[in-house]
Amino acid sequence: MAWQPLQGLTSWSWHHLCAPLLEQPCYGNKKLRGWGQFHTQEVIRVGSTDYIDEDKGGSYAASVAMVLAEIEKLEKKIPSERVLIGGFSQGAAIALQCALRHPRPLAGCVAISGWLTPTARKIVSDGWKGSTSFLLCHGTADDMVGFDCGEAAAQILSKAQASVEFKQFPGLKHESCPALMDAVAGFMCKQLGHVLSESIDWEKGLDSESESEMMVYFPKGGVARLSEQLDQGATISQTEFQNLMNPDSLADGDLMVPAIISDLDALLSAAPEEAAKAVVAATKELASEDGPGEITAQEWRAMQEAPAGSEQAEEEDLSDDDDEEGGSPPDANQEGAEAAEPPAKRARGES
């Protein structure tokens, strides 16, 4: 199973980070890929050895620093609110700690079968007041990271007034399933302002030729002017419509508003009055929902200056549990690169 269904949405940029080789005490200090060290092979539960491990060796801290450095690189191109981070198992623990540690809000954080490390719990108890949204997914029969770890993480974040969705999957072990993938896809689309035009069949994937709606931004002042003219019954010329919708003349601080459009080319080639009605309606509809907010023209321009080979308006940074030894992350700027998929159950620390 892959993330192919999401690739029909838009040109997202997927960044796969490769876990380092670490000496794992639970395997006689054999070097295996992981985001941190495991001290026992027992199931991680609230209060267990690895759950309360304070990272005296610094392996978790080093991994968090590596991921945050990657996010900072992305922020040179796009605002942090367009970066979504996630991970599975130990990767989920790192993703949660990064989202809590990062000084600016992210688009979201997905944690599958993970837990809050002692450092992450301390960040929250010390008064964390961030606005990043979280999706926590956990199988009730998880036999490697106990379900109680997911419950505890959701409770701790909720008490800190964080926006948290906690999805429980009855009977699911330390693995993924179609329902879980659907939940992750829905969360990502909501946080990044995309709408699937059809439900996902995770077994078959989404037809690469199928169309989906996409999010675009229009000048806020231009939309307001169109709305005013429509209310007054004034005639809107093609030239006037194009000028009002043209972002090139905007100052960096001018605002732009999001809208979900199914066929942008058709909208722009329609009669100006019909196009104006569609733009005004689309922006009003999205503004009434709990979706993405306004951005400045400067932020919009940064989004257009995506890395070569990509036309993305958003970038997601996903930390997987671990990668195959000797492998390397795919090209982060390659259009259509697959996202890291939560792997099936495997021995802890093994690739």
Report, as residue numbers or ranges, the catalytic residues.
89, 142, 174
Phi/psi-derived region of residue 312, left when phi > 0, alpha when psi is between -120 and 50, beta in every other case: beta
Q: Which two tokens stand for residue 140?
A: 């009730």
Dihedral pair phi/psi, residue 163, rounded to 5°: -80, 110
d(CA 81, CA 215): 15
Tokens found for residue 324: 């195959």
Indicate the burial class of 168 (C-beta count within 10 angstroms; 0-12, 13-18, 19 or more): middle
Q: Give me 285's structure tokens.
A: 């509809």
Which residues neighbour 73 within 8 Å (Cβ) at sequence distance 6 or greater? none
SS3 state at 5: helix
The 3-class SS string of 272-300 reads: HHHHHHHHHHHHHHHHCCCCCCCEEHHHH
Measure the CA angle with vertex 294, ends 215 and 299; round to 5°: 85
Strand segments (E) across 92-231 = 108-112, 133-139, 163-169, 214-219
Of 16, 39, 2, the closest CA to residue 348 belongs to: 39
CB atoms within 10 A of CB 206: 21
Cβ partners under 8 Å of residue 49, min gap 6 = 39, 40, 42
- Upper half-sphere CA count for residue 68 (Cβ side, 13 Å): 17
